[in-house]
Structure 1
Amino acid sequence: MNEKALRILEYNKIIDRLVECAGSSMGKQLCKTLMPSTDLMEITTKQQETADALSRLYKHGSLSFSGLVDITPSLKRLIVGASLGAGELLEIAKLLSIAQTAKQYSHTSDDMNDNDSLTFLFEDLAPLTPLMLEIKRCILAEDEISDDASPTLRDIRRQIKQTNIRLHNQLTSIVSSNNNKNMLQDNIITMRNGRYCIPVKQEYRGSFPGMIHDQSQTGSTLFVEPMAVVNLNNELKELAGKEQTEIERILAGLSEQVAFEREEIENNLRLLTQLDFIFARA
């Protein structure tokens, strides 16, 4: 069909409405590229898919594909042995959750007569529920790994908490001491360069033992790490390094599990994108 005919039919407005009905960016892209066909078999197939999707919508309600994103770049990185970040793993878990929901949707009715042109698409979905649950167990948010992700991580974080308590108790004792009262600009504990410090007046620089990490704009205040807490600060920094190393190990382990199921996950992405497109048409 030529451009003039499409313009007269206001085909672009039809496509715009169709795009609004898709839930994923990939489904929307398929909607945008949909063009009239002269292939009778293709027309018959697509019309049957649309009719069957509409029938399912009437019988079982809507099926959401919201949250489905293109994880192809992440899957390609797995091929070369890369580890995925927490956000990437959560996107994969979301895809598997959508696949699980779609699978359950297809089983809403036990009537064998409900088999239609979409049945094989639903049946080919592989939710990989154990993998999805393992990712969700370990990763609470893009920037938050669960304490329960591993016994080692839980133990490290327990040590961090205990060390923080000891460090703050020591610093509180220092800022509360009458002997230090005149030397301090404020009775507060602050952080400089990843180290806990207290604000000391510049004129007491030689009287207050510790390491200077920063100073105020006017130079009247020095942010000093008291010698009494240097070892605790060092211990805290070492524990933070161990925590990061353990988090990277956990993410690498989850990435290996995803890599093992990569083909199934790719197939899920393809099937869900196609279903999103079909249900948008319906």
Structure 2
Amino acid sequence: MIKIIFLFLIFAQIYYLSSSANLTEKEKLDKAQKIVDKANAKNKGKWIAKLHNRIAKLEKHSVMLGAKLKVPKKQVSTPEKTNLRRKRSIPASFDVRTGFASCAGIVGMIQDQSSCGDCWAVSTASALTDRYCISQVKKGNSAPLKTNPSVYFSALELMSCTPGMWGCDGGDPYYAWKYTQTSGLVTGTNYTWNSGCKPYPFPPHGSTEYTAPSCVSSCTSSAWNVAYTQDKKYTKTTGYIQSNVAAIQNEIMANGSVVAAFDVYDDFMYYSSGVYQANFG
């Protein structure tokens, strides 16, 4: 499970997806089933592909893929952090939910981005939520309750307010993290809970292609009783690690979830279980 806060990493994401535009529903399902069958034939049990009707029926799979990376080349990585993380020994496996068991309920919460290409914002807000919980425990405090809306950070604010990004049309987690440092981030739960200052605006499994709301400097929930400026929390620093698996693994063990972007191919859209490896695009 990979997501982050004070230090974060991303990989380049490019998508190689065929279009299903202008196909009937049956044609879309038939096309998807062929991808599933081909993937399972090539996988030989290493991972399992399965037909997901909602994904198969999408006009454009690319609507789910919103990473548009524009990190300055001079910031390829943060060397001092990378070297520090290399010094830890790496176990055969590590799960943030068991490694930081008191935060398992929060870490295990997965938010549906719906039909909006804001994975860059949703993943950053989710990682920040995880790492905030973990940081509290590391300080000797009790783990926040999973049901407490004040410990969930708003993907909506990142989606709408991060400068230079494109909302549901994509963005870069690097700048989402920078926003948490320079502007702070308010609370906001998922759509279903509908709590916090700025809860997520789009329902799970949405079939409509959504557009990000305009940025506003106020809470979108009238029921939230904390003022917008008082609701904000700030990260102390942000960083970037590239092409260093050991440093990434050690950062996860030290501080919890991190954000990563990766290449997406047709067969990934039908992943079900196992360790994914791309076979074709």
| Higher strand content, 1 or 2 | 1
State the TM-score bracket (shorter-chain normalisation).
under 0.3
Quick one: higher RCO (CA 8 Å, sep 6+), 1 or 2? 2
**TM-score normalised per structure 1:** 0.24
Question: Radius of gyration: which is bigger?
Answer: 1
**TM-score normalised per structure 2:** 0.24
| Higher helix content, 1 or 2 | 1
